[in-house]
Amino acid sequence: MKIISVVGARPNFMKIAPFAKAVKAYNRQHLTENIEHLLVHTGQHYDDRMSKKFFEELGIPDADINLGVGSGTHAEQVGQTMILFEKVLKDEKPDWVVVVGDVNATLACSVTAKKEWIKCCHIEAGLRSGDLKMPEEINRLVTDRLSDLLLTPDRLSNENLYREGVPDSKIKFVGNIMIDTLESNRAKAADLDLWSIIECNLHEEKNISIKDRDSVSDKHIAVITLHRPSNVDTDEVLEPLVNFLVQDVCKTMPLLWPIHPRAEKRLKEFGFWQKILDIPNLILLKPLGYHAMLRLNMAARIMLTDSGGLQEECTVLGTPCLTLRWNTERPVTLREHGGASVLVGNSVERIRKEYLNLLTGVCKPLRPELWDGHTAERCLDAIINFKN
């Protein structure tokens, strides 16, 4: 059997790492019937800090093929990926294409695979935010509609797929593959020293003092990540958010902000950059590797984020999480389902109210069903035992 797995952007890497390991382990045990596994990187994320670092830290084998697509509009990224991936499929003729998550690579490569009549497996199928203004929702809908095998992270995702008429025979509930990566890297992350992470990753334009060193400690820091176009692409939304961080969060405790390239670009465009540099309690960091980010999550008294993956990691770690979105495709992480996350959108009044609530409440780690660190084996098993 020949499988091509696809990655394109940062959140894909922690999902493909355990799958690649599972294939390797399978091959060690089945020497006469090895799976040929090729990894294709579309190149959507290309900075060392957005890509290479994750390959190194998570032990992902180098991509066999890099399409070098780079940045661009959605149509440019998807179109270019399809053109180049089609050539790969014609040359390599795999039995399966495995796509993960919901980024542009997921959409482009599932469409291309199906047009070449190649079986497609989607890991992390069935998530739905219901918000078609999110590019990721379009990617999920199209990928799930086309895929032959839909591997879901939770039972709510199965229900979404049933509602859309997907037959039960195509769906398999396998758990959350990203938690495999969390579990196998937890101990390594826990060993990292918080201050060393700051020193090694401090944004080159930010100055910090020795006083900051004393104020940074476990459970006395807040962490924020922002990258969604809905939060960072307009100054009417971004300015009140920045003001809230400066006026409310930084007054209570140090705020660590590993900054996404898109957010940095917008903060500079809108003229908010200097304000952020000037606030002493706001520690601006470059994009972090996997272990450093996990360590910050473990240390955070509160997480503010618009990332889906962090919402899930907060749930398992028990870090109170303000999700800076109006909807989520991951309801299993929400407080009403026992999780750590509260949807607050980008209205500052709502964010402030829930911020204060979360600071005073207690939040326990939650382990949703099958988020047990063994999802990758179940994914591979489902592919091997797939019946048409």
Task: Give the residue numbers marked as catalytic.
Answer: 227
Nearer to ligand UD1, 133 or 251 (CB): 133
Nearer to ligand UD1, 48 or 349 (CB): 48
Rounded to an integer, what distance in angstroms lies between the CA atom of residue 207 and that of residue 221? Answer: 18
Q: Which residues fall within 8 angstroms of residue 227, CB to CB, at 6 or more apart?
A: 260, 262, 263, 306, 307
Contact 38, 197 (CB under 8 A): no
State how far the alpha carbon of 136 is from the alpha carbons of 104, 197, 355, in Å.
8, 31, 27
50 touches ligand UD1 by CB under 6 A? yes
Task: Select from 9, 82, 88, 302 the one that contacts ligand UD1 (CB under 6 A).
Answer: 9
Cβ nearer to ligand UD1, comparing 46 with 195: 46
Q: Which of 3, 10, 258, 317 binds ligand UD1 (CB under 6 A)?
A: 10
Encoded tokens for 146: 């086309």
Q: What is the DSSP letter of 96?
A: E
Give, as one character, the DSSP assignment of residue 346.
Answer: T
- Give the residue from 157, 155, 97 showing the smallest Cα distance to 126: 157
CB of 387 to ligand UD1, least distance (A): 32
Taking the least distance from each CB to ligand UD1, the nearer of 135 and 345 is 135
Query: Does the protein bind ligand UD1 through residue 143 (CB under 6 A)?
Result: no
Token pair for residue 280?
Answer: 């002493």
Rg (CA), the chain: 21
Q: Is 325 in the site for ligand UD1 (CB under 6 A)?
A: no
Of 42-50, 79-87, 123-131, 278-286: span binding ligand UD1 (CB under 6 A): 42-50
Shortest Cβ distance from residue 233 to ligand UD1 (Å)?
Answer: 10
CB atoms within 10 A of CB 93: 11
Out of 27, 38, 46, 183, name the contact with ligand UD1 by CB under 6 A: 46
At its nearest, how many Å lie between ligand UD1 and the CB of residue 225?
9
What Cα–Cα distance (Å) separates residue 306 from each residue in 45, 83, 217, 228?
18, 31, 24, 7
Question: Taking CB under 6 A as the criterion, which residues in 58-97 touch ligand UD1?
Answer: 71
Give yes or no for residue 136 binding ligand UD1 (CB under 6 A).
yes
In the block, tokens 């450093």 appear at 292
Taking the CA of residue 226 as centre, how many other CA atoms within 13 Å lie in the half-sphere pointing to its CB?
Answer: 26
Under 8 Å between Cβ of 79 and 109: no
Query: Of 135, 240, 318, 345, which one interacts with ligand UD1 (CB under 6 A)?
Result: 135
Q: Which stretch binds ligand UD1 (CB under 6 A): 4-12, 92-100, 271-279, 356-364?
A: 4-12
Q: Does 265 bind ligand UD1 (CB under 6 A)?
A: yes
Q: Where along the sequence are the contacts to ligand UD1 (CB under 6 A)?
A: 9-11, 44-47, 50, 71, 103-104, 135-136, 227, 260-262, 265
